[in-house]
A and B are shown apart, each in its own frame.
Chain A
Amino acid sequence: GNSVTQMEGPVTLSEEAFLTINCTYTATGYPSLFWYVQYPGEGLQLLLKATKADDKGSNKGFEATYRKETTSFHLEKGSVQVSDSAVYFCALISWGDDKLIFGTGTRLQVFP
């Protein structure tokens, strides 16, 4: 079946460090890929998305590129801030389907 695998957390970084959170997927066809973020005590916010191979989604300094050859959608940010501390979820919607399939989430902790 379709699934998403994320790197285990927590990821602990100092402010201004480079961030990578790995995400790989298994899906038939051509899924749409997403990153959602959940700040403490809040709901899920869409961070970025990509709907076809080689698309790059970007928002708030975060980027992710849809790599079909490696079935990956890694999240990157060049310089993290304390305010980026949150849980990040990679997700997909399969071709012909509507529901989101989520990874387990990766907690990011950024210290000053």
Chain B
Amino acid sequence: DSGVTQTPKHLITATGQRVTLRCSPRSGDLSVYWYQQSLDQGLQFLIQYYNGEERAKGNILERFSAQQFPDLHSELNLSSLELGDSALYFCASSVDPGAKTQYFGPGTRLLVL
């Protein structure tokens, strides 16, 4: 158990819908990262937050957004869902951006029908 929690574990929804994925980092970690794992794209970095502020953006679609709250939990919002958004979404956390070691949650498996 890494100490990073993600909910829900599974999510099934329809095209055009909007979902919210939630992540709680390890106790004491200030930095949160979101990654997407799909069959065609592999594991890709989406976005990073540090202490409530956006720090880096990767290959994140405009339909996707995220935020980190004062209690340091983070949410990833996916809207206007398409079939191709079906993937495993991971959250990871680290003490700070320079820590160079990220601990991953169990992931949320999203299926868009």
A residues contacting B by CB (< 8 A) are 32, 34, 36, 42-46, 49, 51, 89, 93, 97-105
Contact = CB atoms under 8 A, between A and B. Distances in A.
A93 B104 contact: no
A99 B56 contact: yes
A99 B48 contact: yes
A42 B28 CA distance: 23
A100 B31 contact: no
B25 interface: no
A44 B104 contact: yes
B104 A98 contact: no
Interface in B95-113: 97-98, 100-107
Interface of B: 2, 31, 33, 35, 42-45, 48, 55-56, 58, 90, 92, 94, 97-98, 100-107
B48 A98 contact: yes
11 contacts: A32-B100, A43-B2, A43-B104, A43-B107, A44-B104, A89-B43, A98-B55, A98-B97, A99-B33, A100-B102, A105-B42
Contact of B31 (A43, A49, A98): A98
Contacts of A104: 42
A46 B104 CA distance: 8
Nearest to A101: B45
B35 A98 contact: no
Task: In the A-B complex, list the 5 residue pairs whose CB atoms are closest, starting with the nearest.
Answer: A102-B43, A99-B45, A44-B104, A43-B106, A98-B97
A97 B100 CA distance: 9
A36 B56 CA distance: 22
B97 A45 contact: no
A89 B2 CA distance: 17
Contact of A98 (B2, B56, B105, B106): B56
Q: Which one of A32, A34, A44, A51 has the greatest number of beta carbons of chain B within 10 Å?
A: A44
